[in-house]
Amino acid sequence: MRQVFTHINNNRSATKRTPLFWLLAFCMLPFIGLAQEATMAVSVDTTQIRIGEQIQYSFTVEADTTDLVHFPEGQTFSPLEMVEAFTTDTVKANGRMTLEKVYALTQFDSGAYTIPPQRIQINEKAFMTDSFRIAVGTVAVDTTTQKMYDIKGLQEVSKGPWRIWGLPWYIFFGIVLAVLAALAFGIYYFFFRKKQLTEAEKEALLPPYDRALLELKRLENSRYIIQDEYKKYYSELTDIVRSYLEEEVNVSAMESTTDELITKLEMMADAGSLDLENDTIKQFKQVLQTADLVKFAKRKPESSVAEQDRKHIEHIVVKTKEAIPEPTEEELQQTEAYLAELAAKRRRNYWIYAGVAGLFLILAGLGIAMAKYGATYVKDTILGHHTKELLEEKDWVSSSYGFPPVHISTPKVLVRQKVELPAEAKAAILDVNAFMYRSSVGLFTVGVISNTYKAETEPDFQGAIEGLLAELESKGAKNITTKQDEFTTQAGVTGAKCYGSGKFAVPESDELIRGKYAVYLFGGKGFLQQVMITWLDGDEYAEEIAKRIEGSIDVKTE
């Protein structure tokens, strides 16, 4: 089938042509001759297929290279389903272009279907194609060789792994453990690990006696005497011995003058707390006096004298070490207790630092999560929220329920319900198919009902809504508000929508709970289809679930 669309503006008025008009017309002749009409052809490769087979629906447009051509987009071929839209094939020659667009269509129910007219837009002008009649046949089954089996009943399917933040629980906890391990390693590395000490740190940890001898040895190997830097030499020499006396003898030596320090040592020797000979103290006094002359009077001693003074200080350090009485057992116990208490204090400080660091990381993570997702979402993720878990189900169930079928996508599969019809209803209703999922917590429910009537009459949406509200009130619902609108599915099927709020009863509570509901009604001659959703008022996750289910509804009204 080939359709050609042309559009030529032609003014047939008999008005008088002015010379200017004929001049303009003559000038436009070359351009009129160049302008060509756009043509379009549409075709299908076959009008008969079997269930699940595909047809090729093709558009061929020939137009100028400057023309803008728009092909159909989305599921515009219903009741056939578009499987794939192939890339547009373009061929250009002599200022013209030929565009070919192919769509793969299919259908999974047998019957005769009509592909509706499709809209093609060329240069912002719309053109409609003709419709096509497609016959979809069933697949023949050889019952002589193929055994027939009864329909199997419903079976429980094991639930998938519990999810947190959209991740399976084992992956989530694996990430948490990895973060905790990294945190523990960081705490150990920065707080508990025995760090490699520098030479200066190792020297600082030496006992005062060993450190003093080491520093005197270093002073002996220095170049102060060779470079005539006696002031630096004697300054370091006296600092070494004064520091040693402060740490080992517990005398304030660094801030004392020479006379004050010697007086303190003599008093300690007289008291018996320091068994130091008078000759040693006099020798020490002489070295300190020489150092004072060098530092303050700029005296320059002989190099041999400077070297001899260093040896005298070394002798004084050794003698002082020997003069210190051995600590008593009580003093040793006090020292050990002090060291143990000091170690315990350090351990407590380490744990306090680690706890503060861990708490900071946790609070920082919570703050970032709240800033990005909101406090309510973070709280519900940590503490758990049933409808949030339903919304984040990775594999929603897309299925058709009842006959005539209602196709929807839900977080959980709907389970068939047994329906006992009253005697008065059996006179009018031929069959009822009911399916439902009800959350174990709260008010969230999803239900699908398909009613087939004995008489092929048009469905009464208003009567069905009134019956539904009456049924809710009979079960204890109160303060029901209702609104009604026309509702159209994505496939273009029109029905009715009834929605509102109220107070509803739930099995696990004696009190009425504030909730919302939405009912979608469709139907044709002799049947009525209903989809009903209820949820707790203020439950944002349930609101999103309801919107997602609403967008998935697909029905057939023939």
Q: What's the one-letter identity of residue 227? A: Q
Residues 509 and 410 both lie in one domain: yes
Residue 154 counted as domain residue = no
192 half-sphere exposure, CB direction, 13 A CA radius: 13
Residues 59 and 37 both lie in one domain: yes
Residues 307 and 342 both lie in one domain: no
Q: Is the pLDDT of residue 51 over 80?
A: yes
Residues 335 and 315 both lie in one domain: no
- pLDDT at position 1 is 34
Least confident segment among 244-258, 341-355, 517-531: 341-355
Domain end, chosen from 284, 306, 323, is at: 323
- pLDDT at position 158 is 64
- pLDDT at position 508 is 64
For residue 108, give the 3-state DSSP assignment: coil
Least confident segment among 2-11, 234-243, 309-318, 463-472: 2-11
Q: Is the pLDDT of residue 102 over 90?
A: yes
Q: What is the DSSP letter of 45?
A: S
Can you say whether residue 94 is alpha, beta or left, with left for phi > 0 and alpha for psi between -120 and 50 degrees? Answer: left
Residues 355 and 463 both lie in one domain: no
Instruction: Provide mean pLDDT across the span 227-255.
Output: 89
431 half-sphere exposure, CB direction, 13 A CA radius: 8
The model's pLDDT over 483-506, given as tens digits with 9 standing for 90+, comes to: 888 888 877 888 888 888 888 777
- pLDDT at position 445 is 87
Under the banding of pLDDT at 50, 70 and 90, the label for residue 104 is very high
Which residues, at least 6 apart from 501, have a Cβ–Cβ distance to it below 8 Å? 480, 481, 514, 515, 516, 517, 537
Residues 131 and 250 both lie in one domain: no
Instruction: Provide mean pLDDT across the span 142-159.
Output: 67
The model's pLDDT over 328-375, given as tens digits with 9 standing for 90+, comes to: 667 666 667 767 877 888 788 878 877 777 777 777 777 776 666 666
Residues 407 and 476 both lie in one domain: yes
Residues 405 and 483 both lie in one domain: yes
Q: Decide: 533 and 446 in contact? Cβ < 8 Å.
A: yes
Q: What angle do CA 325, 331, 336 make, to 5 degrees?
A: 125
Greatest alpha-carbon pair distance for the chain in Å reads 146
Under the banding of pLDDT at 50, 70 and 90, the label for residue 22 is very low
* Domain that includes residue 186, residue range: 167-192
| Bond before 507 cis per omega within 30 degrees | no
Residue 148 counted as domain residue = no
Q: What are phi and psi of 44, to 5 degrees?
A: -125, 145
Instruction: Provide mean pLDDT across the span 310-323.
Output: 88
Most confident of the following: 86-95, 197-206, 327-336, 488-497: 86-95
User: Does the pTM of the predicted model rise above 0.75?
Assistant: no
Q: Decide: 219 and 233 in contact? Cβ < 8 Å.
A: yes
For residue 407, give the 3-state DSSP assignment: strand
The model's pLDDT over 64-83, given as tens digits with 9 standing for 90+, comes to: 888 888 888 878 888 888 88
Under the banding of pLDDT at 50, 70 and 90, the label for residue 7 is very low
Distances (CA, A) of 168 to 42, 348, 483, 516: 50, 38, 40, 31
For residue 426, give the 3-state DSSP assignment: helix
Q: Is the pLDDT of residue 512 over 60?
A: yes
Residue 333 counted as domain residue = yes
Q: Is the pLDDT of residue 141 over 80?
A: no
Distances (CA, A) of 411 to 163, 380, 389, 462, 533: 13, 18, 9, 29, 13
The structural domain count of the chain equals 5
Task: Say which residue, 237 or 196, is predicted with more confidence.
Answer: 237
Most confident of the following: 145-149, 198-202, 333-337: 198-202
For residues 119 and 97, what is the distance between their CA atoms, to the nearest angstrom? Answer: 20
Residues 130 and 184 both lie in one domain: no
517 half-sphere exposure, CB direction, 13 A CA radius: 26
Mean pLDDT score across all residues of the chain = 79
Helix intervals (H) in 276-328: 278-296, 303-323
- pLDDT at position 373 is 63
Q: Decide: 75 and 112 in contact? Cβ < 8 Å.
A: no
Q: What's the one-letter identity of residue 495? A: G
Residues 297 and 331 both lie in one domain: no
Domain end, chosen from 362, 382, 402, is at: 382
Q: Is the pLDDT of residue 558 over 60?
A: yes
Under the banding of pLDDT at 50, 70 and 90, the label for residue 57 is very high
Under the banding of pLDDT at 50, 70 and 90, the label for residue 377 is low
Residue 149 counted as domain residue = no
- pLDDT at position 144 is 64
For residues 88 and 75, what is the distance between their CA atoms, to the nearest angstrom? Answer: 17
Q: Decide: 115 and 132 in contact? Cβ < 8 Å.
A: yes
Give per-residue burial for 242-265: e unless 16+ CB within 10 Å, then b: bbbbbebbebebeebeeeebbebb
The model's pLDDT over 432-448, given as tens digits with 9 standing for 90+, comes to: 888 888 887 777 889 88
Q: Where are the beta strands (DSSP E) in 131-190?
A: 132-137, 163-164, 167-168
Residues 300 and 441 both lie in one domain: no
- pLDDT at position 15 is 34
Q: Decide: 170 and 163 in contact? Cβ < 8 Å.
A: no
| Bond before 79 cis per omega within 30 degrees | yes
Task: Say which residue, 250 or 162, is predicted with more confidence.
Answer: 250
Q: What is the three-state SS of 417-477?
A: ECCCCCHHHHCCEEEEEEEEEECCCCCCEEEEEEEEECCCCCCCHHHHHHHHHHHHHHCCC
Residue 252 counted as domain residue = yes
Least confident segment among 192-201, 433-442, 527-536: 192-201
CATH number at residue 305: 1.20.120
Q: Is the pLDDT of residue 24 over 70?
A: no
